[in-house]
Chain A
Amino acid sequence: MTTTATPATGTPVFAVDGLWKVFGPKADRVPGDPALAALDPAELRSRTGCTAAVRDVGFDVRKGEVFVVMGLSGSGKSTLVRCLTRLIEPTAGTIAIDGEDVRAMDGARLRALRRHRAAMVFQHFGLLPHRTVLDNVAYGLEIQGMGRAERREKAAEVVAKVGLEGMEQRRPAQLSGGQRQRVGLARALAVDPEVLLFDEPFSALDPLIRRDMQEEVVRLHREEGRTMVFITHDLQEALKLGDRIALMRDGRVVQLGTPEEIVGSPADDYVRAFVRDVPREQVLTVRTAMRPAATSEEAATGPGVRPDATVSEAIEAVSRAGTSVRVLDDGRCVGVVDAAALLNVVAGEVATGVGSHADAAAGSRAAGAARMGAAAPAERREPDPAPATTSEEPV
C-alpha cells in the first residue's frame, strides 16, 4: 500500500529516532527518566518546570519525498524541524542525515550541513530588509565565500525560476507577502540543498496566494524531485503536498502515514476529529471502496480506472458508465467499485471488503508508529537503522 510514496531506496535523507526537546531547568533528566517521560505536559510542567516540545519522536524522510509534519500550534512541529539542523539543540535522541550523525557534528561540519545540504524557508520569510531581492537570494552563496559576479548570476537564475523576474533590485519592504516568500524560497533554492525544510511557509499569506505558492512547491518538486520536509498546521495543505504525513499532538507523533491512511483510517479520536471535514472522495482512492469481482464476466468487461484514482474520479466514471467499474492495475482487474460502495466512502461509512482490511492494518500501523519510540533504544545502536516507519508493511 505504498500508493504515492516513493519506494524507499538506500539510506533515508533524515533518520530521526527517539528525539526529545525539553525546555526548562535541568531539561536533560526528563527524557532519561521513564517516570518523568510518561507524564502529560501539564503535570510535567508543575512537577519539573519543564516543557517538552518534542517527545520521543522518530521517523525517516526518504529521498525525493515530501514529508509533512502537521499539528496545531504548540504541538512541537516547528521545534522539531529546527532540531533537524540543530537551530534548536535537541535534548536527547539521534538525528542522521544520509547516515551521518548530526548531533555529533562540530561547529564547522554543522555549518557545512546548513550551507550545502539543508536549507530552510520560514513563516515570516526572515529576509534582510537592507538588501535587494537579488542580494537576499545570493546571501547563502555569499556566506559560502562565492564571488560577487558568480553568485549574482546564480541568484538571478533562481529568481527567474520562482517567477520574480524584473524585481531583482527591489527591497523586501516593496514586495507583497507572496513575493517575499518567493524570495525566501529562492534563497533556500540558490544554495542547491539536498533537502528543503519549510516551516509553515504559507501560513502568513492570503488564501489565494497560498494556493499559488502551494502549486509552486508542487511544480518545483515535480521538476527537481528535491526532498522536502514541510511543516504546516493546515490539513488541506498537508494532504495536498504530502507524500507522507506525520500528525503531531503535544510533542508526539500520533499517526504517520499517507494522506489516504490518515483520512481513511484515523489512529485515534483526535485524528478522527481532525480529518472529519475533509472531503474524503478527493483523498481516498478506489482501493478503499473496491470489492472483489463477483463474476468473471464482471472482471472482464466494462470501463476501468487506475487503483490510485480518487473516489471522486471513480464516481465520475461510474455515473458516466451507469454500471460498476473495474479497477485495473497494469490491465489486470484487481477489483470492482459500484455506486453504493463509493457513496459509502463519501458518507464516511466503514467500507466493506478490502477497505475494512485496510482500515485495520492502518490502525495497527499508527499504533505501531506511536509505540515506535519505546522500541527505539534497542535499534539505536544499529549501524544502518531499519526504517522506523511502518508503512512498508505489506497489506
Chain B
Amino acid sequence: MATLTATAEKTSPPGIRANPTARKLAALALVAAVLVPLAAARWSSGTWPGALTVDVSGPLGRTSDWIIDNRDSHPLFLHFLGHVSNAVVISVRAVYLALLAVGWAGVTGVCALVAWRVAGVRLALGTAGAFLACGLLGMWVPTMQTLALMVVAVAVSVLVGMVLGLAAGLSGRMDRILRPVLDTMQVLPAFAYLLPVVLVFGIGVPAAVLATVVYAAPPMARLTALGLRGADKEVLEAVESLGTTARQRLLTARLPLARRELLLGLNQTIMMALSMAVIASVIGAGGLGDRVYQALASVDVGAALAAGVPIVLLAVVLDRVTGAAGARLGQEPAPHARALWAAALAAAAAVAVAGRLTDRLEWPDGWVVGIAEPVNRAVGWMTDHLYSGVPVVGGTADWAGRFTTWVLDPLRDGLQWLPWWSVLLVVAGLAWVIGTWRTALTATSAMAAIGVLGVWKPSLDTLSQVLAAVAVTLLVGFATGVAAARSDRVERLLRPVLDVFQTMPQFVYLIPVVALFGVGRAPAVAAAVVYALPAVVRITTQGLRQVDPAALEAARSLGATSGQQLRQVQLPLARPALLLAVNQGVVLVLAVVIIGGLVGGGALGYDVVFGLAQGDLATGLVAGAAIVCLGLMLDRVTQPTERRARKGA
C-alpha cells in the first residue's frame, strides 16, 4: 500500500507540472473566447473604454474640500486628529530642540558611545566619523531635523508594530486578518502612502511623520508576530508545565525568545523610516530630504549630493549598529557590562557639557567644506564632454535618448496600442500560471480597477518603464548573481557594495542618475535598475549557493561540465529563489519608477507630485490608487506560491 502510493508520487511530477499550466491556459482561453468578442463588440477601443470608467475626481475633490473647510471646526478634527497632529508636532519639536541643545559634540559623542557599547569600537569610530562628515558638509541642522523626525516616527512605529505584532502573534484569527494586509503594505511603493495622509492632515510635519509610521510599522509587526509564532514549542511547553500564567509566559519566555526577530524588526523599521522620512520631504518633512528635493528640482547636483551623502552615512550607520546589536545577542554579555555602560554615558554627558560650556553648540561655519561648487563644476564638465558626441561609445545623454527612443517609446506605445481586454488576459494568464487562481483574480481585478479609475494610459506608461527596468535588472542581476555564485572572489568583491547599496534610501538614487543622464524617463529607469539590482543579485546568489550539494556532486560524478551543472542542476533547483528575485525586482523597481516622477519620469509618479504641488488632491489620490493597484497587480503576477520574509529595502 505504502510503496504503491510512494511510487505513484515519484512518477507523477513531470506529468502534473506540464498539465496544470496547459489546463489553466485552456480554461482561460475558454473564458476569453466567450467574453472577448462580447467586450470587443461593445467597447471596441484600444484603450480602456470610456463607458467603463467611473469619474471619482469629483467626489474626491469634494471630500478634500470638505476636509479643508472643516479642519478647524469638525469635532473629529478638534477632538482626535487635531490632538494627534499637535502631539506629533510637539514631540518632533522637542526632540529637535533637545538635539540642538546637546550640541554637535554632544550628539556625536552620545551616538558614538552608544554604538561602542552596542556594536564595538569600529562602528563607534564609524558613527563619529559619519556625524562629523554631516557637519563638515554643512548639513548639521538638516541632519538633526531628519533625525528628530525619525526618532519620533520610529518610536511610534515600533509601538504600533509591537501592538499589532503581539495581536497577530498571540491570536490566530488576528494573524489571518493582519497577515495579508501587512504583506500587501510591504509591496506598495512609498509614494502611495503620501496622499491619504495629506488629505487628512495637510502638508506638514504631522503628515510626514504619520506617512512614515504607516510605511515603517509593518515590518515591525510582521517580525514581532513571526518571532512570537516561531518560538521553540518545547520551551513554551516546558514553561507552561511549570505553571506559568499567560502573562508570565509572554514576559519571561515568548518575548525574550523573540528578541532576535524584534531587533531585526527594529532594524528594518529604522531603515524604512529613514527612507520614508526622506521621501516625505515632498509633503513637508523638511531636513535632508527637503534639501535633496529642492536641489533636484533645480537640477543642482552638487547641492543634492551634499545633502545626499549625509543620508547615506546615516543609513549605513543606523543599519550596521542595529544589525550588530542583533548579531551579538547569542553571545555571553561582557563582564562589567553595566559599569562600561555607565562609563560611556558619563563620558557622553561630559562631552555634551564641555560643548555647552565652550559655547560650541552650533557647527562652526568655518569648518564647513562646500562640495556643491566643485561637484557642480565636475558635473558641468561631464555635461560638456560626456553627455554626447563621445567618439565610438556615444555620450550618456545619447544613451538615455536611444534607450527612450528604441526601448521605452515602442514599449509604451505597444502597451497602449494593445486592446484593453488583451492586457487583462495577459495579466490573468501570467498570474495564474505562476501562482494560483486567487492571485490571478486579484491581479486582474487590480488591473481592471486602474481602467475604471480612468488612468489607463499613464498607468501603462508607468508599466512600460517598470517592464523595461525589470528586464534590464533581471538580465544584469542574474548574470552577476550566477558569477557571484560560481566564484568566491566575485562574491567577496560584491558583498560590501551590495551591503551599502541595499541600505540606501530610494530617494538618494535619483542624484547620480540626474548627474549622468539629465531628466526624463530613462534616468528614472536607470535609478530603478540600480535600486533593485542588489536585492536581485543577492537572492540569485543565495538561491544558487543553497542548491543541495549532494545533487551537484552527483552531477559532477556523472561528468557534467560546469555549464551543464548550471543549466541542468543549479538553475532548476534554484527556481523558487529565482522567482522570488523576479518578484522582489518588480516590487523594488516600481517603487523607484514612481519616485522617478520627480525627475521627469512622468506618468503616475508625476500625477502624485503634481497633485501635491498644485493642491489638486483628487488627481493625486486617483494616481495614488492606481499605484496601489499597479503594485498589487505586479506583485500578484510574479508571486511565487510561497512568499518568504524579505529584507525591507
Contacts and interface: CB of A to CB of B under 8 A. Distances in A.
Contacts of A197: 241
Contacts of A126: 232, 234-235, 237-239
B250 to A, nearest CB: 12
B332 interface: yes
A119 B259 CA distance: 27
B568 interface: no
A85 B252 contact: no
B257 interface: yes
Contact of B243 (A113, A128, A129, A187): A113
Nearest to B329: A130
A143 B240 contact: no
A85 B238 CA distance: 12
A278 to B, nearest CB: 29
Interface string B229-250: 0001011011111111100100
Nearest to A121: B238
A114 interface: yes
A240 B239 CA distance: 29
Interface in B212-269: 232, 234-235, 237-245, 248, 252-253, 256-257, 259
Contacts of A114: 240-243
A62 B248 CA distance: 33
Given A87-B237, A120-B238, A143 B244 contact: yes
B391 interface: no
Interface residues of B, number: 20
A139 B252 contact: yes
Nearest to A124: B234
B243 A122 contact: no
B243 A130 contact: no
B243 A143 contact: yes
A123 B235 CA distance: 11
Given A87-B240, A129-B257, A139-B252, A111 B234 contact: no
B549 interface: no
A315 interface: no
A184 B239 CA distance: 11
Given A87-B237, A126-B238, A171-B332, A111 B245 contact: yes
A85 B241 CA distance: 8
Contacts of A143: 242-245, 248, 252
A19 interface: no
Contacts of B232: 124, 126
B256 A130 contact: yes
B239 A128 contact: yes
B330 interface: yes
B234 A122 contact: yes
A374 interface: no
> For the complex, would chain B's binding face be called helix, strand, loop or mixed by DSSP majority?
helix
B234 A123 contact: yes
A159 interface: no
A112 interface: yes
Contacts of B235: 126-129
B253 A191 contact: no
Interface string A148-192: 000000000000000000000001011000000000100100010
Q: Which of A113, A143, A197 has the most chain B CB within a 10 Å cutoff?
A: A143
A140 interface: yes
A128 B253 contact: yes
Interface residues of A, number: 33
Interface string B162-191: 000000000000000000000000000000
B241 A87 contact: yes
A306 interface: no
B645 to A, nearest CB: 21
B243 A115 contact: yes
A173 B234 contact: no
B332 to A, nearest CB: 7
B330 A115 contact: no
Among B237, B238, B248, residue most surrounded by chain A Cβ atoms (within 10 Å)? B238
B263 to A, nearest CB: 13
Nearest to A127: B235
Contacts of A87: 237, 240-241
Which of B237, B248, B259 gathers the greatest number of chain A CB atoms within 10 Å?
Answer: B237
A276 to B, nearest CB: 25
Interface in B285-339: 330, 332
A122 B330 CA distance: 23
B242 A130 contact: no
Given A120-B238, A143-B252, A128 B245 contact: no
A78 to B, nearest CB: 11
Nearest to B246: A107
A249 B98 CA distance: 70
Nearest to A172: B235
A139 B244 CA distance: 10
Nearest to A169: B332
A213 to B, nearest CB: 17
Interface in A350-367: none
Nearest to A170: B332
Interface string A97-133: 0000000000000111111100110111111111000
B253 A119 contact: no
A191 B49 CA distance: 76
Given A122-B237, A173-B330, A140 B242 contact: yes
A113 B242 CA distance: 9
Given A87-B237, A122-B237, A171-B332, A115 B256 contact: no
A130 B241 contact: no
A125 B232 CA distance: 11
B257 A128 contact: yes
Contacts of B253: 128
A143 B239 CA distance: 10
Nearest to B1: A42
A110 B246 CA distance: 13
B245 to A, nearest CB: 7
Given A116-B243, A125-B234, A126-B237, 13 more contacts: A113-B243, A114-B240, A114-B241, A115-B243, A124-B234, A127-B235, A128-B239, A128-B252, A129-B235, A130-B256, A130-B257, A130-B259, A144-B243
19 contacts: A85-B241, A87-B237, A111-B244, A112-B243, A114-B243, A115-B243, A116-B243, A119-B241, A119-B242, A120-B238, A122-B238, A124-B232, A128-B235, A128-B256, A128-B257, A139-B239, A139-B242, A139-B252, A143-B244
Q: Which 8 A-B pairs have the closest CB atoms?
A: A126-B238, A114-B243, A115-B243, A111-B243, A120-B241, A140-B242, A126-B234, A130-B256
Interface of B: 232, 234-235, 237-245, 248, 252-253, 256-257, 259, 330, 332
